[in-house]
């Protein structure tokens, strides 16, 4: 839903022009010659490069006809998970499948024509290899806190690490706001007061802070972009935010061969629903920016009314490693940003250790009180 107000002023047109220039720079970046993912690390390798620019692995230079033929042999096996609802495409040579989101084997094959989903526009290739991601997991699972189960590192889960391209909506838009607030300015007054000192009443002075309030209103506008909204059924926005950010300047125009050997999920959140999330996020940012912009020492009763225009959206596939494991019949998840290597995950809590620590602390407190009482009794 677009909301366009009166024609922008000269200043506002300048903001839009600058934002358009930024978009052109990004477009120039992503419009660079496309590359095939390196077999060792996943970094894009230009067609005529003999070596990977990231890891140095030799790269076979192929003709256009051969590359076109390989693109036709892209992912064409599709599964729907009946446990969590995710639609995932995988390599056709993979004979068995476990859902990367919920670890369920209750999946059925389906035809992609049924979903009618649009193709992604951009893809950020994997730069972290599966071996690197697995090493990160091993280090993470061993780095236990005292309140975690001591045998957690014994879990056998190496075969459940999966690299998956997950769908994200990205929006950019101009926010134009009218605001009103009360602006407070501090001033100080010296006051006298009496207090008791050494059994006598004495008079002293103190400096007291006062606030003078003034009504103020105005307008504010800013161009927002780059917020990635998870369109995945199995990855919530909260989980996605834990392994952000991704560098969008590394994005490539989508080509099927980027997905060769990797699983990929179709978007489950429609663009209209994602747009609502984006409005909420950009409105929150607009409120924060206006609050920081306000003069004075403090403020209150801020009211912001925002309209959005010049909207644009893109569908991205972002590289993420997922690992699900079970401990005491409960599923936990480990995440790796396949571009930057940033990690995050969930671990079970050992309530036995926690209650043991609480009991030990209570015991020490009781012992301390008994010692104090004993010393007091001996002194009297």
Positive or negative torsion for Cα 100, 102, 106, 112:
negative
Evaluate whether residue 369 is within a structural domain: yes
Evaluate whether residue 57 is within a structural domain: no
Q: Residue 281's domain spans which residues?
A: 10-31+73-349
Number of domains in the chain: 2
Evaluate whether residue 43 is within a structural domain: no
366 and 303 housed in the same domain: no
* pLDDT score for 113: 57
- Which residues lie closer than 8 Å to 167 by C-beta, 6 or more apart? 120, 230, 231, 232, 265, 266, 267, 268, 315, 316, 317, 318
336 and 358 housed in the same domain: no
* pLDDT score for 15: 41
Q: How many CB atoms lie within 10 A of CB 236?
A: 11
- Which residues lie closer than 8 Å to 309 by C-beta, 6 or more apart? 2, 3, 4, 5, 173, 174, 176
Evaluate whether residue 41 is within a structural domain: no
280 and 179 housed in the same domain: yes
With CA atoms as reference, report the closest residue to 55 among 121, 120, 131: 131
356 and 213 housed in the same domain: no
Evaluate whether residue 299 is within a structural domain: yes
- The parts of the chain modelled with pLDDT lower than 70 are 1-37, 39-43, 47-48, 50, 53-54, 61-79, 82, 85, 89-116, 144-159, 349-357, 360, 380
266 and 358 housed in the same domain: no
Using DSSP's 3-state secondary structure scheme, residue 329 falls into: coil
* pLDDT score for 20: 43
78 and 152 housed in the same domain: yes
């Amino acid at each position: 839903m677009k909301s366009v107000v009166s024609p922008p002023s000269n200043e506002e047109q300048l903001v839009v022009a600058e934002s358009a220039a930024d978009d052109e720079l990004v477009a120039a970046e992503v419009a660079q010659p496309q590359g095939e993912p390196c077999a060792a690390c996943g970094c894009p390798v230009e067609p005529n490069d003999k070596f990977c620019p990231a890891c140095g692995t030799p790269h076979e230079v192929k003709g256009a006809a051969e590359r076109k033929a390989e693109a036709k042999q892209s992912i064409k096996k599709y599964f729907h998970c009946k446990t969590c609802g995710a639609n995932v495409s995988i390599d056709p040579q993979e004979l068995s499948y476990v859902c990367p989101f919920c670890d369920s084997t209750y999946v059925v094959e389906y035809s992609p024509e049924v979903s009618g989903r649009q193709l992604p526009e951009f893809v950020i290739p994997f730069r972290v290899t599966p071996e690197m991601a697995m090493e990160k997991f091993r280090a993470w699972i061993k780095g236990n806190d005292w309140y975690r189960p001591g045998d957690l590192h014994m879990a056998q889960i190496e075969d459940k690490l999966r690299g998956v391209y997950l769908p994200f909506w990205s929006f950019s838009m101009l926010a134009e706001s009218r605001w009103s607030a009360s602006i407070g300015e501090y001033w100080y007054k010296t006051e006298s007061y009496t207090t008791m000192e050494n059994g006598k009443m004495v008079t002293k002075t103190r400096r007291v802070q006062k606030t003078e309030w003034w009504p103020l209103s105005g307008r504010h506008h800013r161009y927002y972009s780059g917020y990635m909204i998870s369109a995945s059924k199995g990855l919530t926005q909260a989980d996605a935010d834990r392994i952000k950010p991704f560098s969008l300047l590394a994005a490539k125009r989508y080509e099927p061969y980027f997905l060769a050997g990797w699983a990929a999920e179709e978007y489950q959140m429609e663009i209209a629903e994602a747009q609502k999330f984006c409005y909420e996020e950009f409105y929150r940012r607009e409120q924060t920016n206006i609050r920081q912009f306000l003069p004075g020492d403090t403020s209150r009763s801020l009211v912001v009314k925002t309209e959005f225009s010049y909207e644009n959206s893109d569908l991205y596939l972002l590289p993420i490693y997922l690992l699900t494991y079970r401990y005491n019949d409960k599923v936990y998840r480990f995440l790796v940003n396949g571009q930057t290597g940033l990690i995050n995950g969930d671990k079970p809590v050992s309530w036995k250790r926690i209650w043991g620590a609480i009991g030990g602390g209570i015991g020490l407190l009781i012992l301390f009180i008994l010692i104090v009482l004993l010393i007091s009794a001996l002194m009297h």
